Amino acid sequence: MKGKCTCGAVHFELTDKPLIVHCCHCRWCQRESGSAFALNAFIEAKHVQVTAGAVEAVDIPSESGAGQRVHRCADCKVALWANYLGLGTDFSFVKAGTLDAPDKCPPDVHIFTESKQPWVVLDDGLPVYEKYYRRSETWSEGSMKRFHALMDGRE
């Protein structure tokens, strides 16, 4: 899957499928997006490859306190993906709306629905969690393997 910023200077590519795609209804995502939820494709950072243009990293606060590093186009400043620093920089959360074909990156799960806006009606049959979930219960076996391959290598 390919994506780009608004001015077109930055082009990037996902070189593998996302581990999982979150539709996050938390207040932080609502504030950062200015909308009702965020759509984040969770993937190994090494599988997000910049094919053109310059990306700049901006650190902003996050709910965990560890911070979030948002990667933006250096020219038009549109946010493309982020690292949650509590999890580290090995994983990125790609903003699905920046993909050329966002329809091909639908959510796998709804999270933090405790703060879901009431007009957002969920009838897509996906798992719904008031807060977060247990990875082993929600992720595919293949995604768990990829996640552990990176996490185990870190220790």
80 interacts with Zn ion by CB under 5 A:
no
- Could you tell me how many residues make up the chain? 155
In this structure, are strands 48-52 and 55-60 parallel, antiparallel, or unpaired?
unpaired
21 interacts with Zn ion by CB under 5 A:
no
The piece of 12-20, 23-31, 130-138, 142-150 that touches Zn ion (CB under 5 A) is 23-31
In the complex, the smallest distance separating the C-beta of residue 154 from Zn ion, rounded to whole angstroms, is: 24
Rounded Cα distance, 154 and 90, in Å:
9
Answer for which of 1, 39, 73, 96 binds Zn ion (CB under 5 A) is 73
In the complex, the smallest distance separating the C-beta of residue 114 from Zn ion, rounded to whole angstroms, is: 11
Q: Which two tokens stand for residue 46?
A: 């090494």
The DSSP element (H or E) to which 74 belongs, if any, is none
Site size toward Zn ion, by CB under 5 A: 9
Among residues 14 and 111, whose Cβ is nearest to Zn ion?
111
Q: Which long-range contacts (CB under 8 A, 24 or more apart) does 120-126 make?
A: 120/25, 120/36, 120/37, 126/23
Where along the sequence are the contacts to Zn ion (CB under 5 A)? 5, 7, 9, 24, 26, 29, 73, 75-76
